[in-house]
């Protein structure tokens, strides 16, 4: 029984499929005579064609909810295949599809599609039968077993081909998968093809001998089978409808019963509530008081975000274990103070919601590391503490610190973001001897900051020297704040020399601190302190203003000094300030300095810490007209892709490379590479730390434009820079014998400024 598709409103996606089937069907009809013999068409053949076209396709059963009909025409197609061979079957199938299409559609494309689909499926059936059994017309001469196998193959190939083409067309229309469409609508129709093939096989020999007589006798049998199947489908639809109606009635009854039960329950509940209202009110008040007490107690001693104990509860427990340690000499405990490294980066990049999730996940991971007797607390922000109660020895605290670091090697999955974090841990041991919880937490905090200073992602155990150092740093911080207020700081200037001509090109401004009691304080001691405390921001702005004022004075002393430039360092804290550009603009306007003579130096590490933000800032600074330098180049990690995007004018080669330039070949190659990179990117190069004539000579051979270091001069105050001298320094005599105006290295009067 063939499957006929009625399609209305084809989606555009089916257009290619329709025309592909039409082309394939036409190809099947054209190619069939070339490899299939054309039989002698007698009156019986014409009679079968007429019956197939005029009768069988009109007796169709529509599949429920699908525009698909099942007809009995395949019985006659199978009969013609067995009687007259493959060519006759293909022609009959195409003709039957054509007339079926005319009956169900007025669209030429749809009529052609139905005809082509029938031709294609029958063509595939003939091909398979010839491959496995030989000529189709000779099948009825086979032995019974071979004949049955051939007929079964014919039925199944026709079935899979017909329903497959139909399922593809329907799937394209409904946008469902082909497999689900075929399984849902066509799987059950295989019985019709098997039945049709069986009828054709049973009647083929009789029809060949008896002709029309067997048809007259067999037609009622076919009709009975077909209408029995038709009745079967009607009964299925009727039974399905009855089942659906019964299900709806049952659901209605269930809903009515549930509604009645709910109403009765509500009435009973209202009745009970009314009888016991005054008792419940009393119980409610009592219960609320109890819950309020518990709630306030919990809120007072727990962190609302992580539900961990807070600092107050941790302090209470610390008091208890401190007293226990006084009573039992062998009792030991420890406190671990933890601070997440670079937690601010998570908040800034992913938002505070992800930051809160990280804190919660961190709390749970810390709890997984500890014993039941231990306590994990959140002290605030990204700070946590762990109280190790009753440890076997002091080494257990170090083992716990190591265990936590190992646990944090696995990332946190936060709302689809994979976040890695580390923590700096400070450990305070009970063996140090404590009377107050605050002192123990203070010492653990001090050790934690030492761990951060050592590079983060590690732990440090407190010793009393740390406390002494912490007190020293606190005093230094207070002194530094007063130093800025009292103007105890000074700006010194180190010359930057052109290595090509030996002439002064500019200066780098460097801050110095002459403490009234401690004397000279090395910048390496107070600059990191200024960075940590945030004092570097006002300090850096003060140095910038003083350096620009001094540059203006020197430039106006002589026309020969007009092109001198001033290099000023910017810290990472300054770079992160949104107001930095406007502050620099204001200084330039107030000091009347041409922006092109100001060079702002930013360290490589500060630039790469947040490269995308740095790109935007450097472009805004560049728009002011100032020059930009990357300081200490080569000591950090730079992405050449980002370096290309940075609007930088100068690279400063770090003194560590210049100082070893003559020790090994690879050292000079590093400098050569940096200079070559700068040349290719249109940048200038300044070599820092030039101290020997040998280093100067090699830098000149490498075409390094500028040099800075003790060979030329140490950093000195403005008065010394302004002093004139006439003596030619030794490095100029060796390398620049023709020059007349020079600097003197290493002396109080070190720089000669060219006068008008």
Domain assignment of residue 427, yes or no: yes
Query: Mean pLDDT score of the chain, rounded to an integer?
Result: 82
How far from each other are the two terminal CA atoms of the chain, in whole angstroms? 112
Average pLDDT over residues 305-327: 94
Residues 566 and 457 in one domain: no
Residues 584 and 702 in one domain: yes
Distance CA 535, CA 542 (A): 11
Identify the band that residue 497 occupies on the pLDDT scale cut at 50, 70 and 90. very high
Distance CA 747, CA 743 (A): 10
Share of the chain above pLDDT 90, in %: 34
Whether the full predicted model's pTM is greater than 0.75, yes or no, is no
Residue where a domain terminates, one of 225, 241, 257: 241
Residues 423 and 519 in one domain: no
Distance CA 649, CA 142 (A): 94
Domain assignment of residue 74, yes or no: yes
Which region among 129-133, 223-227, 294-298 has the lowest average model confidence (pLDDT)?
223-227
Average pLDDT over residues 578-592: 94
Q: Is 684 in contact with 496 (CB distance < 8 Å)?
A: no
Which region among 238-247, 296-305, 519-528, 612-621 has the lowest average model confidence (pLDDT)?
238-247
Residues 456 and 484 in one domain: no
Domain assignment of residue 502, yes or no: yes
* Domain count of the fold of the chain: 3
Separation in Å, CA 452 to CA 425, 446, 639, 673, 730: 8, 10, 25, 34, 46
Q: For residue 358, give its domain range.
A: 306-462
Domain assignment of residue 256, yes or no: no
CATH number, domain containing residue 399: 3.30.70.270
Residue where a domain terminates, one of 417, 432, 462: 462
Give me the helices (H) in 456-522, please: 464-486
Distance CA 420, CA 196 (A): 69
Domain assignment of residue 280, yes or no: no
Convert the pLDDT of each residue in 512-532 to its tens digit: 998 888 888 888 888 888 888
| Paired tokens of 567 | 């290099």
Q: Tell me the Cα Rg of the chain.
A: 47
| Paired tokens of 137 | 């017309």
Residue where a domain terminates, one of 191, 207, 241: 241
Average pLDDT over residues 671-698: 92
Of 165-169, 241-245, 440-444, give the range with the top mean pLDDT: 440-444
Domain assignment of residue 266, yes or no: no
Residues 611 and 664 in one domain: yes
Identify the band that residue 729 occupies on the pLDDT scale cut at 50, 70 and 90. low
Give me the helices (H) in 85-189, please: 86-104, 108-133, 144-174, 178-185
Coil/strand/helix, residue 410: coil
Residues 319 and 423 in one domain: yes
Is the pLDDT reported for residue 640 higher than 70? no
Residues 527 and 503 in one domain: yes
Is the pLDDT reported for residue 400 higher than 90? yes
Residues 624 and 536 in one domain: yes
CATH number, domain containing residue 167: 1.10.1760.20
Residues 523 and 439 in one domain: no
Residues 336 and 455 in one domain: yes
Identify the band that residue 589 occupies on the pLDDT scale cut at 50, 70 and 90. very high
Domain assignment of residue 296, yes or no: no
- For the beta sheet containing 383-389, the strands, ordered from the edge strand earlier in sequence to the opposite edge, are 375-380, 383-389, 333-340, 423-429, 459-461
Q: How many of the other CB atoms lie within 10 Å of CB of 470?
A: 17
CATH number, domain containing residue 639: 3.20.20.450
Q: How many of the other CB atoms lie within 10 Å of CB of 555?
A: 21
Identify the band that residue 377 occupies on the pLDDT scale cut at 50, 70 and 90. very high
Convert the pLDDT of each residue in 65-113 to its tens digit: 444 555 667 888 888 888 888 888 888 888 888 888 887 777 888 888 8
- pLDDT number for residue 551: 94
| Paired tokens of 756 | 């008008």
Q: Is 496 in contact with 707 (CB distance < 8 Å)?
A: yes
Residues 213 and 69 in one domain: yes
Domain assignment of residue 53, yes or no: yes
Residues 637 and 561 in one domain: yes
């Amino acid at each position: 029984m063939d499957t006929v598709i009625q399609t209305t409103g084809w989606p555009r996606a089916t257009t290619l499929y329709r025309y592909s089937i039409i082309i394939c069907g036409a190809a099947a009809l054209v190619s069939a005579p070339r490899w299939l013999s054309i039989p002698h068409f007698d009156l019986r053949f014409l009679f079968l064609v007429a019956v197939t076209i005029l009768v069988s396709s009109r007796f169709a059963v529509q599949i429920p909810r699908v525009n698909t009909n099942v007809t009995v025409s395949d019985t006659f197609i199978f009969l013609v295949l067995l009687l007259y061979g493959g060519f006759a079957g293909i022609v009959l199938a195409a003709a039957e599809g054509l007339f079926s299409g005319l009956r169900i559609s007025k669209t030429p494309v749809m009529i052609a599609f139905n005809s082509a689909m029938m031709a294609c499926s029958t063509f595939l059936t003939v091909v398979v039968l010839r491959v496995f059994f030989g000529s189709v017309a000779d099948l009825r001469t086979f032995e019974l077993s071979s004949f049955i196998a051939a007929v079964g193959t014919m039925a199944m190939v026709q079935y899979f081909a017909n329903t497959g083409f139909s399922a593809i067309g329907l799937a394209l229309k409904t946008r469902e998968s082909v497999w689900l469409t075929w399984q849902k609508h066509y799987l059950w129709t295989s019985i019709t093809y098997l039945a049709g093939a069986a009828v054709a096989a049973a009647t083929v020999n009789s029809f060949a001998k008896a002709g029309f007589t067997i048809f007259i006798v067999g037609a009622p049998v076919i009709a009975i089978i077909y209408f029995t199947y038709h009745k079967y489908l009607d009964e299925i639809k009727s039974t399905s409808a009855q089942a659906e109606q019964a299900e709806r009635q049952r659901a209605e009854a269930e809903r009515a019963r549930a509604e009645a039960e709910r109403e009765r329950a509500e009435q009973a509940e209202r009745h009970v509530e009314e009888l016991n209202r005054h008792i419940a009110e009393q119980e409610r008040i009592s219960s609320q008081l109890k819950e309020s007490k518990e709630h306030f107690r919990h809120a007072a001693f727990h962190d609302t975000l992580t539900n961990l104990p807070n600092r107050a509860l941790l302090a209470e427990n610390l008091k208890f274990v401190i007293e226990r340690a006084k009573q039992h000499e062998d009792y030991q405990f420890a406190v671990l103070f933890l601070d997440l490294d670079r937690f601010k980066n998570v908040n800034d990049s992913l938002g505070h919601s992800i930051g809160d999730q990280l804190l919660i996940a961190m709390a749970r991971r810390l709890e997984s590391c500890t014993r039941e007797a231990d306590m994990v607390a959140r002290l605030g922000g990204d700070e946590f503490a762990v109280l190790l109660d009753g440890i076997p020895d002091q080494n257990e605290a170090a083992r716990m610190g190591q265990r936590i670091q190992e646990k944090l090697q696995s990332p946190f999955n936060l709302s689809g973001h994979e976040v890695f974090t580390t923590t700096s841990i400070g450990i305070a041991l009970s063996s140090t001897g404590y009377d107050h919880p605050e002192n123990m937490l203070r010492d653990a905090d001090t050790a934690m900051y030492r761990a951060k200073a050592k590079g983060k992602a590690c732990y440090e155990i407190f010793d009393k020297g740390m406390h002494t150092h912490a007190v020293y740093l606190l005093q230094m911080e207070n002194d530094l704040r007063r130093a800025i207020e009292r103007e105890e700081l000074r700006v010194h200037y180190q010359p930057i020399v052109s290595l090509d001509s030996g002439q002064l090109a500019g200066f780098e401004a460097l801050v110095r601190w002459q403490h009234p009691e401690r004397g000279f304080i090395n910048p390496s001691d107070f600059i990191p302190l200024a960075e940590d405390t945030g004092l570097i921001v006002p300090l850096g702005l003060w140095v910038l203003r003083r350096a620009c004022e001094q540059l203006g004075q020197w430039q106006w002393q002589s026309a020969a000094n007009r092109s001198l430039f001033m290099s000023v360092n910017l810290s990472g804290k300054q770079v992160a300030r949104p107001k930095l550009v406007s502050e620099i603009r204001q200084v330039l306007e107030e000091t009347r300095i041409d922006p092109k003579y100001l060079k702002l130096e930013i360290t490589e590490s500060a630039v790469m810490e947040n490269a995308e933000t740095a790109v935007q800032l450097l472009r805004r600074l560049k728009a002011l007209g100032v020059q930009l330098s990357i300081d200490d180049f080569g000591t950090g990690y730079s992405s050449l892709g980002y370096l290309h995007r940075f609007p930088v004018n100068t690279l400063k080669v770090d003194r560590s490379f210049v100082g070893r330039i003559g020790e090994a070949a690879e050292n000079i190659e590093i400098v050569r590479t940096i200079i070559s990179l700068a040349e290719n990117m249109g940048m200038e190069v300044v070599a820092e730390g030039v101290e020997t004539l040998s280093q100067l000579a090699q830098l000149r051979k490498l075409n390094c434009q500028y040099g800075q270091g003790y060979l030329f001069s140490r950093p000195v105050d403005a008065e010394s820079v302004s002093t004139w001298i006439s003596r030619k320094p030794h490095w100029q005599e060796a390398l620049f014998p023709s020059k007349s105006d020079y600097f003197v290295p290493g002396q109080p009067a070190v720089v000669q400024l060219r006068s008008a």
